Amino acid sequence: MATDWLLVNDIRGWVQTASPTQVYLAIVGLGTVGYLVGYVIYQRYFHPLAKFPGPFWASVTNFWKVYELSTLALPTRMCRVHEKYGPVVRIGPDDLSFNIPEAIAPIYKVGRKMPKGIFYNGYVSTVPDIFSTRDEDLHALRLKQIGPGLTVSALKHMEPVFNTHIGKLVTKINGHVEAGTVLDLKEALALYGYDITAQLAFDTDFNSQATGQLPPLNNHFLLGNIYGLLANLLPQLATWSALLPSVKRLLESRNDLKRIAEGSVRKSLESHNNETEPGTLLAALINAKDPDSGKKLTEDEINSEAFVFLVAGSHTTSSAMVALLFYMHQNPTVIKRVREELDAALPGQQSMPYDFTGLDSKLPYILACIRESFRMSPTAALLLPHEVINPAGANIGDYHVPKGANCSILSTCLHHNPDVWGHDHDEFNPDRFMPGSPSYKPEYLSMLFHFGQGNRQCAGRNIALMSIWKVVVTLLKNYEFELLDPKEKFVMIETGVGDKKGPMNMRVKRRVAV
């Protein structure tokens, strides 16, 4: 008791002698400490998501996710988090990550009942686009306007553009064959991916395959992820973070690319002929209209849609081809079977590039390889949160989730869940997707999340698949590749889009026609 009185007297004496500023700062400091203690206690024990396990820091701040993203290994680290805490993990004050296939439908296949969360605000570069918009009515309108230009039949009119850029890729490979030099196939495919996507999106040949210059497209994903994960602080975050040199460089990179894109769109608008069949995605965007109202896209909306297709489509597609070709050539049995299937289905030295139509039905084993590479190394390994808006909450699998929670599935974790794929989930086994094989299960296809699922899945997936099929079949039919280091482990650098760490150096020679 005497000690207590001494403490009170000490405080009273300090207050009597302290300046008003010192007293004010002390009150503010104590208030801040009290608020923080109360906030942490609430988040840990009384928040509606407190019952879900997860890292301590994740429960109190979204900066935990930003830190994990900064390691450039977010998917791998998230998989470890699920291994430690279980199938449903709290990864933010209001965020849950699910690693069960039963969560796909209730999160991603219920449309406007569970719309995209605030995370997507971080990806808006000009006006909301088909990927970033959280407005389900606007998304439905965009699908009606743009969707017809993204069908396989519409893309057939654009196939000559693919053929032109694949021809340039073949010329580059021929140069290495004739010189007997090692080819970095990762770089070659990245340059092709940028050129073909830029040509489709902006009707402009950026000629990257000739110059060897590739803009840092991953910066847009990294910036979008950072802003998206901290979206509750926007727009203040955008203002403050722009003062940081690293973020400033990311913003400058995005703005430089936007200026190039806007100039290309403006030029195409001035010379566009509405009567001609669209030979590029940009032409399809200019022609696009709502079949019900006739409403067309504004110039800003065309800029936004073309920009997102360039950024989202070029590197993800080339990176997917890199993963596919790496896994094929690291497995002698697989590549032997691939070549045998190619020679049986496409005998002789046929014209190249190959026509896209019917390749998937003629080449079922290569189709299985594509699907297995999607499973092994999904290139768009993003947290894609959708928000529970029903006041009664939502039932996701065996879990009840309250209103306001953001729920997501990370493709890498789902694709490597041993309870789904078995203890050999880290092994490349295309037979998982080959009917009749002991490894095959018909439900596996419904658990692939490479393009997402539901009405908000990747709108440009047909463009990606056309590139993958045409390029991979052309290369494997006409060349023999060999990894310089066949024992190399495939590791991805993750900025929101996966990119193989280091080059993919290969020896290459022409195949003899069979």
Reported as type and span, the H/E element at residue 481 is: strand 479-483
458 marked among binding-site residues: yes
- E-state strands within 253-352: none
Reported as type and span, the H/E element at residue 90 is: strand 88-92
DSSP state of 243: T
Give the type of residue at 49: L
Question: 394: which 2 tokens?
Answer: 């939502």
Contacts of 148 (CB under 8 A, 6+ apart): 154, 284, 288
Whether 462 contacts 353, CB under 8 Å: no
C-alpha–C-alpha distance, residues 285 and 239, integer Å: 32
Whether 459 contacts 133, CB under 8 Å: no
β partners of residue 90:
96
Whether 183 contacts 508, CB under 8 Å: yes
For the chain, give me the number of helices (H) and strands (E)?
22, 11
Query: How far apart, in Å, do the first and last CA atoms of the chain sit?
Result: 97
Whether 280 contacts 160, CB under 8 Å: no
Annotated binding site: 458
Binding residues for heme are: 458
